[in-house]
Amino acid sequence: MIGTIFAFAYAFLFINIVKKISNAILKGAIFGMVAFIFAQIMMVIMGKIMPMPLMEGSMILIMVGSVMGHIIFGILVAFFVKQPIEEIVFS
């Protein structure tokens, strides 16, 4: 569900911000990093609201895996969403 919401956020908001960038991979990587940073901020906020279990394992590997996952997600969204939703709906 969160991925769907982020994909719509890309289609409605973010694609207009990066419209000067022509490379879809670069657009997606930037979007993935923005999504990663947003996710980390939300995890801190949720951790303050309710106790969260401690992570087990190498924190470096967990962080690298999370960054890679978000970037791959962003690239896939950028490949599938070529134009803003407003242009599709209102054209």
Domain ranges of the chain: 2-85
Total-model pTM? 0.81
Confidence at residue 89, expressed as pLDDT on a 0 to 100 scale = 59
Q: What is the mean pLDDT of each run of 10 residues along the chain (91 residues)?
A: 88 86 92 95 91 85 95 94 67 56
Confidence at residue 42, expressed as pLDDT on a 0 to 100 scale = 92
Confidence at residue 38, expressed as pLDDT on a 0 to 100 scale = 94
In 3D space, the residue among 15, 5, 33, 2 whose CA is nearest the CA of residue 79 turns out to be 15
